[in-house]
Amino acid sequence: MGMSCAQRCIIISFFRRCRNITYPANLPQVSVVFIFVNEAPSVVLRSMHSVISKTPAHLLKEIVLVDDHSNNDELKEKLRAYVDEVNARQPGFVKVIRHQKQEGLIRSRVSGWRAATAPVVALFDAHVEFSVQWAEPILSRIKEDRTRIISPSFDNIKYDNFEIEEYPLAAQGFDWELWCRYLNPPKEWWNLGNTTAPIRSPALIGCFVVDRLYFEEIGLLDEGMEIYGGENVELSIRVWQCGGSVEVLPCSRLAHIERAHKPYTEDLTAHVRRNALRVAEVWMDEFKSHVYMAWNIPIENSGIDIGAISNRKALRQRLQCKGFKWYLHNVYPEMRLYTDTVAYGMLKNVLKNDLCLDQGPEMDNIPIMYICHGMTSQNIYYMSNQQIRVGVLSPTIDDNDNKCLVDVNNRPRLIECSYAKAKRMKLYWLFTQGGSIQNRKSKRCLELQGSPDNEFGFQLLLQKCTGQRWTISNVLKKTSSQ
């Protein structure tokens, strides 16, 4: 991530201003929980050293280490030696929880919380480095209002050389697959002209600090989630919809190693997807379709077992939470909505059922037919305004717009929808399930030319309609070509 001079200047000046803020003397104590599985021992030790040296001793009640069933013996030995040494000076200061079987990140966070005893609990990864005064701003915000859940501002520690790379100030959010992402801080925050002011945040990217008892009242984390992902989004939506708030503090900085390989499994995608569907089903009301659309899976009979969600639904009922529409409108207005989707999924020509319309090489803007794999380059969305959108669902208004299929001089091309619309290009298509795809203005049809014997021999083209037919995986409402 590159950074302009302007951003560097902001960082330098807010550090100076942050140092100038004084915090109340009687702040609540914090328990810092580190979760890990097969982390390098030096990295866990570094995180512990760092929190001890950067937190005033009277504020740091204890450190809780949660080892989610690591199979690394060196890790166990080295940690034991260090923990014994610290505890010899300060009995009980470091608590170690070892899971007898792997519980995943989500239940590991909850077991760290269960072991914690301070009024405030910080739930962090074990590959972080703290900066001076990371704790004071957070503890004073929570002391003022215990329903605030708080994230420090993140910098990156490069995993290969441990250099710290400063990141610009950001709020935290997610896309429609519910992967987390950084967001530009909201307009109201910029308008304050105070770079040390708290940044209202739609979500948390993962590490957070919370009042210990409030966290329980609000329902901890969704322990029905497995392995990794989605829990941070679920917590954030829940806290907002049920009366609390989430914020990022510019004056509390944490550097975090963005690892090349996450633990647990090679590919976390299936776990994130399952957990995301739980969030969609419990919290997102009529907008849950967006999560299914983004993952390109059917809403009914998705074939994915998301486990029981009745407890989480009962929690929502008990806490009398607001709806997701309220959240989108009031907390995450940057999110793009796709409520006018008519059909979505993979788009196939009946001539050749194993090829799918695909956005092709990212920079080309030329759609192709490619072996069906169902990943985001083959996400197709047919909208009620008769646009055909191709590729990943653009999550927020600050991201590039979606690409639309356009007839450009008789050739199929992909062009940003808003641009194509502004330039009055040919971006509207008549289509019903199992029918042709015909451009409304040029009257040409999207068709294949080539031999069915050679799977790569097919060309995608626009031509005088010969009656070729197309199907899309999921139809949401009755398709209309009026």
Name the residues that contact ligand NAG, by CB under 6 A.
Answer: 16-17, 20-21, 194, 196-198
Please give the backbone phi and psi of residue 53, each rounded to the nearest 5 degrees, phi first: -80, -20
Closest to ligand NAG by CB, 45 or 199 = 199
Identity of the residue numbered 412: P
- Smallest gap from Cβ 157 to Mn ion, in A, equals 10
- SS3 of 90-121: CCCCEEEEECCCCCHHHHHHHHHHHHCCCCEE
Structural tokens at position 335: 């999110």
Identity of the residue numbered 326: W
- Smallest gap from Cβ 92 to Mn ion, in A, equals 27
The listed partner (ligand NAG, Mn ion, none) that binds 21, CB under 5 to 8 Å by sort, is ligand NAG
- Smallest gap from Cβ 265 to ligand NAG, in A, equals 41
Closest to Mn ion by CB, 63 or 347 = 63
- Smallest gap from Cβ 134 to ligand NAG, in A, equals 15
Please report whether residue 125 would count as binding Mn ion according to CB under 5 A.
yes
Burial state string for 192-222 with b = 16 or more CB within 10 A and e = fewer than 16 = eeebbbbbbbbbbbbbbbbbbebbeebbbbb
Residue nearest to Mn ion (CB): 125
Taken in order 174, 175, 179, 185, the sign of the CA dihedral is negative
d(CA 453, CA 438): 26
- Smallest gap from Cβ 186 to ligand NAG, in A, equals 15
Site pattern 68..107 for Mn ion (x: CB under 5 A): ----------------------------------------
Closest to ligand NAG by CB, 16 or 318 = 16
Closest to ligand NAG by CB, 194 or 459 = 194
Give the containing element (helix H, strand E) for 423. Answer: none
- At 424, is the secondary structure helix, strand, or coil? coil
Stretch that binds Mn ion, among 124-132, 289-297, 302-310, 393-401 (CB under 5 A): 124-132
Closest to ligand NAG by CB, 13 or 463 = 13
Count of positions on this chain that bind Mn ion (CB under 5 A)? 1
Exposed/middle/buried for 87, CB within 10 Å: 0-12, 13-18, 19+? Answer: middle
Closest to ligand NAG by CB, 73 or 144 = 144
Widest Cα–Cα separation across the chain: 84
Site for Mn ion in 330-359 (CB under 5 A): none
**Where does this chain bind Mn ion (CB under 5 A)?**
125
